[in-house]
Copies of this chain bind each other. A is one copy, B any other.
Amino acid sequence: MGYSKTDELAINTIRTLAIDATFAANSGHPGAPMGMAPVAHVLFNKFMTFNPKNPDWANRDRFVLSNGHGCMLHYALLHLFGYALSMDDIKHFRQVDSICPGHPEAHDTPGIEVTTGPLGQGFANAVGLACAQAHSAGVFNKPGFELFTNHTFMFFGDGCAMEGIASEAASTAGHLQLGNLIAIYDDNHISIDGDTKCAFTEDVSKRFEAYGWHVQWVKDGDHDLQGIEDAIQKAKEVTDKPSMIRLTTTIGFGSKLQGTGGVHGNPLKEDDIKQVKEKFGFDPAKTFVVPEEVYDMYHKHASEGAAAEQEWDSMFEKYASEHKDLAADLKRRLSRKLPEGWQEKLPVYKPSDKAIASRKLSESVLEAIHEAVPELLSGSADLTGSNNTRWKNAVDFQPPSLGIGEWSGRYFRYGVREHAMAAIMNGLSAYGTVIPAGGTFLNFVSYAAGAVRLSALSHQRVIYIATHDSIGLGEDGPTHQPIETLAHFRALPNFMVWRPADGNETSAAYYVALTSTGTPSLLALTRQNLPQLEGSTIENGIKGGYVALEDKEAQITLVSTGSEVSLCLEAVKYLKDEKNVAARVVSLPCFEVFDAQDKEYRLKCIPDGIPALSVEVMSTMGWEKYSHEQFGLNRFGASGPYKDVYKKFEFTPEGIAKRAVATIDFYKEVKPLRSPLQRAFLQLI
Q: Which residues of B contact A394 (CB under 8 A)?
A: none
State how many angstroms separate the Cβ of A469 from the closest Cβ of chain B.
15
Q: Is the CB–CB distance between B487 and A493 below 8 Å?
A: no
A309 to B364, CA, bound (A): 59
B95 touching A491, Cβ below 8 Å: no
Given B96, B200, B205, B493, which contacts A635 in the complex, CB threshold below 8 Å? B493
Q: Assuming A629-B679, A665-B680, is B192 touching A102 (CB within 8 A)? A: no
A679: chain B residues at CB < 8 Å are: 629, 666
Taking the closest CB of chain B, its distance from the CB of A626, in whole angstroms, is: 10
Instruction: Give the Cβ gap from A158 to chain B, nearest Cβ, in Å.
Output: 7
Contacts of A484 in B (CB 8 A): 453, 488-489, 491-493
Q: Is A685 an interface residue (CB 8 A)?
A: yes
Assess whether A316 is interfacial by the CB under 8 Å rule: no
Q: Which of A217-225, A546-554, A643-651 lines the interface with chain B?
A: A643-651
Q: Is the Cβ of B27 less than 8 Å from the Cβ of A474?
A: yes
Q: Is the CB of A648 within 8 A of B96?
A: yes
**Which residues, 382 to 410 on A, are CB-close (under 8 Å) to B?**
382-386, 396, 398, 402, 404
Q: A206-B210, A670-B672 are contacts. A404–B198 as well, Cβ < 8 Å?
A: yes
Which of A289-297, A344-352, A411-419 is found at the contact surface with chain B?
Answer: A411-419
**Size class of the contact patch on chain A:** 35 or more
Contact A415 B162 (CB under 8 A): yes
Chain B residue numbers with a CB within 8 Å of A416 are 119-120, 158-160, 162-163, 191
Residues of chain A in range 611-628 having any CB-CB distance to chain B below 8 Å: 611, 619-622, 624-625, 628
Whether B103 lies near A620 (C-beta < 8 A) is no
Does A199 touch B at the CB level, under 8 Å? Answer: yes
* CB of A365 closer than 8 Å to a CB of B: no
**CB-based contact B159/A491 at 8 Å:** no
- Decide if B201 touches A212 in the complex (CB within 8 Å): yes
CB of A302 within 8 Å of the partner chain? no
* Most chain B beta carbons < 10 A, residue from A619, A644, A648, A685: A619
Query: Inside 8 A of A604's CB, which chain B residues have their CB?
Result: none
Please state if B193 and A444 are interface contacts (CB–CB under 8 Å): no
**Residue pair A446, B444 in contact (C-beta under 8 Å):** no
Q: Complex: how many Å from CA A602 to CA B232?
A: 65
Q: Which residues from chain B contact A419 at a C-beta distance below 8 Å?
A: 164, 447
A580: CB under 8 A from chain B?
Answer: no
Are B634 and A685 closer than 8 Å at their CB atoms?
A: yes
List the B side residues contacting A662 at CB < 8 Å: 680-681
Assess whether A96 is in contact with B672, with CB atoms less than 8 Å apart: no
Out of B158, B629, B684, name the residue touching A649 (CB < 8 Å): B684
For the complex, is A450 an interface residue (Cβ under 8 Å from B)?
A: yes
Q: Does A94 contact B (CB under 8 A)?
A: yes
Contact sample, A vs B, 25 pairs, CB 8 Å cutoff: A94-B640, A102-B476, A105-B478, A117-B477, A160-B416, A162-B168, A162-B415, A162-B416, A164-B419, A164-B420, A167-B167, A193-B382, A197-B404, A199-B382, A203-B210, A207-B211, A446-B449, A446-B450, A447-B450, A456-B636, A484-B489, A488-B488, A493-B635, A494-B636, A630-B683
Binding site for B on A (CB under 8 A): 25, 27-28, 68, 94-98, 101-103, 105, 115-120, 158-160, 162-168, 171-172, 174-175, 191-193, 197-207, 209-212, 380, 382-386, 396, 398, 402, 404, 413-417, 419-420, 443-444, 446-447, 449-450, 453-454, 456-457, 474-480, 483-484, 487-494, 611, 619-622, 624-625, 628-636, 638-641, 644-645, 648-650, 658-659, 662-663, 665-667, 669-672, 674, 679-681, 683-685
- The 7 tightest CB contacts between A and B, nearest first, are A164-B164, A624-B624, A96-B640, A666-B680, A101-B639, A199-B415, A167-B167
| Apart from the given pairs A102-B639, A163-B417, A633-B684, 15 other A-B contacts in the complex at a CB distance below 8 Å | A95-B639, A96-B640, A97-B640, A98-B639, A117-B476, A192-B383, A193-B413, A205-B210, A447-B449, A449-B449, A457-B479, A487-B621, A629-B680, A663-B680, A670-B674
